[in-house]
Amino acid sequence: MFYSIYVGVLCYFVVHFFFGAAGLNDYRQLMQHRDVLSDNVAELQKINWQLIQELKLLAADPDKILVLARDLGYFREGDYVIKPDGISVPKSYYKIGKLIRMPIGRHSELLFAKIVCLIVPILIYLFTGLFVRRSHHGIEIDAS
């Protein structure tokens, strides 16, 4: 009869080892999220390096500042602006990276696993109890 308790505890620990809050599945998810974050950090460092280079170029070249100001729509007094119809000027905006979010946990799987861990020992207890009772009824015990 105590085997059902052992099976229940063992089932609980095995299920939580694989599916629990600190289980292998969550560990794999965490490692994948870490890889995504490290890739994002590398991309942001590349963007940062490009912006630093552009800042150095802007500090050294006043003509570059004028071109960038015109791209943004700023002109000197007396400048003539000609905008032909049907031609759009592509605007070059800065890439700022992407927002990375941690995936939300899956509580329904863990709830199902907990229910299984409760039902399996109860079923084992019931079946072993029936089996033990039936086997005891068929055996005669000699008291001498």
- pLDDT per residue as tens digits for the range 49-77: 998 998 898 888 888 888 888 877 788 88
Q: Which domain holds residue 119?
A: 2-84+106-138
Q: 36 exposed, middle or buried (CB, 10 Å; 0-12, 13-18, 19+)?
A: middle
Q: Give the count of domains, the chain.
A: 1
Residue 18 lies in a domain: yes
With CA atoms as reference, report the closest residue to 55 among 65, 45, 42: 65
Query: 96 lies in a domain?
Result: no
Average pLDDT, integer, range 33-44: 92
What is the pTM (predicted TM-score) of this model?
0.54
Asked, for residue 90, whether it belongs to a domain, the answer is: no
Q: What average pLDDT does the segment 5-29 reach?
A: 76
Give the tens place of pLDDT for each residue, 104-133.
766 556 677 777 777 877 787 777 777 666
